[in-house]
């Protein structure tokens, strides 16, 4: 006889003392997210970092311009989540950042997740309100969440920069007009062109932050030392390129991206000290790709339809000289399981006709590919071109 489910009687009825711990945790999980989002948005962690000493709730409330009662409740929640330390001074409770809060939740930290948290709070969180509709309809919910019609991922993504940063109000109308008459990459270039330098930097910081945390694990999942010339397609801020040159001292990396992305990356992210990192401006669907032994596609393939992915990978295969292709992305476990949040599609990251988040078995069916799980939110797949 099979073992009973936890807390169930032999007749299959729930036991009297059964407690749905996991279900209750899942029900209230969003409360934790919003506590982190609001604390970052109000600048709680920044205030404590600048103070260089524990502060009382009254001092913090004054610094962030919030009510004392609301601040006390928020600080208590952060302390319960182990994001803040508590100290008692003459009967008064004071607060300071934990080490992780100072490193990842303050705006000034070089590995800050602040911009990613802002994006999660102001865009992803609102889209997930419509998850039921996303499942029923099989498409993203940007239009219901923000009133932005999204014919493709990039329309929604860049239009939502208005909400995220925000951009000037008149930009929304400009962007909407462009989707009607232009192709996918032309749309991207138009939007990049009208974004201010400050907006560009913020957006690229968002893209940059995750690779600062897990990029090393991704580029070392396989031994890439045989590949001396690497091209990072859509390499954006160069975070992954820096991880490659750090892990493999004999390699050089060319970042291939749109002109304004390259300009911003040169000015704000990749310095002259990064001598083994170069740039190549272009559109990877149209322009010739630089010669390389290895091409990296990091957070690229999930943005496009299957047809466009095949087109891009075919272009790469024609260019690579017996080396390999390294798509980087999140792998889901086998047996039909999925990892949230990327799999549900409420935020538009997965269109109904786009490349899905693959499981290892999917890649094993593609001849000449290997996969590695890193234990973090991004894994690695390496494909070799047959000679």
Residue pLDDT, tens place only, 23-42: 999 999 999 999 999 999 99
The model's confidence at residue 174, banded by pLDDT at 50, 70 and 90, is: very low
The confidence score (pLDDT) of residue 278 equals 95
Structure-token pair, residue 31 = 């409360």
The confidence score (pLDDT) of residue 9 equals 53
Say how far apart CA 24 and CA 234 lie, in whole Å. Answer: 41
Helices 44-51 and 57-64: crossing angle in degrees, nearest 10, is: 120
The model's confidence at residue 157, banded by pLDDT at 50, 70 and 90, is: low
Structure-token pair, residue 230 = 């690497």
What value does the mean pLDDT of the chain take? 78
pLDDT over threshold 90, residue 256: yes
The model's confidence at residue 333, banded by pLDDT at 50, 70 and 90, is: very low
Q: Which of 87, 268, 280, 302 is catalytic?
A: 302
Q: Domain limits of the chain? A: 29-104, 114-199, 214-384
Q: What is the largest CA-CA distance in the chain?
A: 75
Say how far apart CA 357 and CA 341 lie, in whole Å. Answer: 11
Q: What's the average model confidence in pLDDT over 245-266?
A: 93
Is 302 a catalytic site residue? yes
User: Nearest Cα to 240, choosing from 204, 267, 272, 264?
Assistant: 204
Structure-token pair, residue 305 = 């339809």
- 93-107, 301-315, 349-363, 364-378: which has the minimum mean pLDDT? 349-363
The confidence score (pLDDT) of residue 14 equals 64
The confidence score (pLDDT) of residue 358 equals 55
Q: What class does CATH assign to 214-384?
A: alpha beta
Between 242 and 5, the more confident residue is 242
Say how far apart CA 296 and CA 309 lie, in whole Å. Answer: 13
The model's confidence at residue 238, banded by pLDDT at 50, 70 and 90, is: very high
Query: Tens digit of pLDDT for each residue in 188-237?
Result: 555 555 566 777 787 788 778 888 888 999 999 999 999 999 999 999 99
Query: Tens digit of pLDDT for each residue in 275-313?
Result: 899 999 999 999 999 999 999 998 888 777 788 888 998
The confidence score (pLDDT) of residue 173 equals 31
User: Nearest Cα to 302, choosing from 152, 146, 175?
Assistant: 152
* Number of other residues whose CB lies within 10 A of the CB of residue 31: 9
Say how far apart CA 187 and CA 110 lie, in whole Å. Answer: 31
Residue with tokens 């980087």: 328
The DSSP secondary-structure symbol of 165 reads S
pLDDT over threshold 80, residue 262: yes
Q: CATH code for 29-104?
A: 1.10.10.10
């Amino acid at each position: 006889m099979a073992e009973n489910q936890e807390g169930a009687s032999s007749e299959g009825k729930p036991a009297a003392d059964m407690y749905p711990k996991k279900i209750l945790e899942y029900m209230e999980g969003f409360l934790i997210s919003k506590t982190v989002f609001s604390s970052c948005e109000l600048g709680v962690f920044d205030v404590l970092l600048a103070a260089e000493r524990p502060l009382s709730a009254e001092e913090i409330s004054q610094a962030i311009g919030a009510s004392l009662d609301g601040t006390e409740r928020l600080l208590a929640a952060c302390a319960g989540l182990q994001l803040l330390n508590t100290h008692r001074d003459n009967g008064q409770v004071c607060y300071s950042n934990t080490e992780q809060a100072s490193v990842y939740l303050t705006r000034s930290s070089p590995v800050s997740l602040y911009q990613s948290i802002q994006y999660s709070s102001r865009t992803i969180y609102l889209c997930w309100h419509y998850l039921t509709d996303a499942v029923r309809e099989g498409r993203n919910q940007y239009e219901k969440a923000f009133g932005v019609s999204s014919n493709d991922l990039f329309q929604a993504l860049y239009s939502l920069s208005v909400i995220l940063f925000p951009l000037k109000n008149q930009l929304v109308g400009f962007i909407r007009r462009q989707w009607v008459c232009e192709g996918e990459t032309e749309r991207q270039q138009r939007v990049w062109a009208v974004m201010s330098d400050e907006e560009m930097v913020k957006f690229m910081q968002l893209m940059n932050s995750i690779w600062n945390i897990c990029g090393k694990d991704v580029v070392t999942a396989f031994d890439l030392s045989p590949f001396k010339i690497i091209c990072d397609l859509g390499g954006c801020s160069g975070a992954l390129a820096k991880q490659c040159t750090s892990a493999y001292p004999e390699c050089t990396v060319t970042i291939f991206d749109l002109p304004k992305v390259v300009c911003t990356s040169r000015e704000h992210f990749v310095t002259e000290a990064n001598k083994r990192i170069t740039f190549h401006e272009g559109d990877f669907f149209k322009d010739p790709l630089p010669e390389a032994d290895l091409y990296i596609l990091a957070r690229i393939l999930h943005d496009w339809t299957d047809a466009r992915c095949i087109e891009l990978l075919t272009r790469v295969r024609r260019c690579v000289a017996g080396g390999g292709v390294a798509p980087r992305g999140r792998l889901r476990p086998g047996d039909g399981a999925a990892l949230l949040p990327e799999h549900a599609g409420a935020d538009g990251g997965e269109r109904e006709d786009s490349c899905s988040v693959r499981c290892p078995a999917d890649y094993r069916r593609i001849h000449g590919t290997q996969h590695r799980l890193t234990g973090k939110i991004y894994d690695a797949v390496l494909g070799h071109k047959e000679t």
